[in-house]
Amino acid sequence: MTCSGTRPSGRETPARHGQRHVSNTAGTATHTAMVEADGSAAFDDLVSLLDYPMFIVTTASDGHPAGCLVGFTSQTSINPPRFLVGLSRKNHTFGVAQSADHLAVHVLPREELPLARLFGGTTGDTSDKFAQCEWHTGPQGMPILDAAPAWFVGRVLRRFDVGDHVGHLVEPVAGTAPDTLGELISFSDVRDVSPGHNA
């Protein structure tokens, strides 16, 4: 199917990796549709080309702080402001977050890569990450990482299943941000980090 939902027609052109490209001419415009036998494989290939920003998400429940490195996030609304955080069901942080009312989302500059590796490569099941970094208790009792130049605390409005992760829709209630941010940590910076828990 093409983007418009119509069936493509025309001649096939050579392609690689089991794909076939179909040329479709409508008026003076030429459209190319890629037909992929295995849609999930094509999706995996596409996603591997993207370089998502990475965040550290922290939370706390009954005085117990938890946090992990997160890549599945997105702003979902401007007005009202909303942000979506996907937490893996296997993460220690996920268990703590289920009884927490808020999450703290941290943006990290590239020079704080060791902190990202700490929160992405160790699990709170066996290691106290917060004993290995500087932090303080912030709004709504959330653990705030001192090294993060920008962060916000969000109230959890909804939790819902999104597959092997659970989406947490949050409403920002507090935070801080500088006038500008330098190079931020992205997935390519932590691609080699072995996760504390497999997703």
Mean pLDDT (the chain, rounded) = 83
pLDDT given at position 40: 82
pLDDT given at position 14: 38
Residue 48 banded pLDDT, cuts 50, 70, 90: confident
| Interatomic CA distance for residues 57 and 110, integer angstroms | 17
CA of 154: how far to CAs of 34, 54, 162, 172, in Å?
Answer: 40, 17, 19, 4
Higher pLDDT, 65 or 48: 65
pLDDT given at position 168: 98
Higher pLDDT, 178 or 45: 178
Instruction: Assign domain 55-190 to a CATH class.
Output: mainly beta
CA of 62: how far to CAs of 56, 59, 96, in Å?
Answer: 20, 11, 9
Mean pLDDT across 105-110 = 96
pLDDT in tens, 115-169: 999 999 988 888 899 999 999 999 999 999 999 999 999 999 999 999 999 999 9
- Do residues 32 and 24 make contact, with C-beta atoms less than 8 angstroms apart? yes
- pLDDT of residue 101 exceeding 80, the answer is yes
| Interatomic CA distance for residues 137 and 174, integer angstroms | 13
| Interatomic CA distance for residues 2 and 50, integer angstroms | 22
- List the domain boundaries for the chain: 15-48, 55-190
pLDDT given at position 198: 59
pLDDT in tens, 171-186: 999 999 999 888 999 8
pLDDT given at position 199: 56
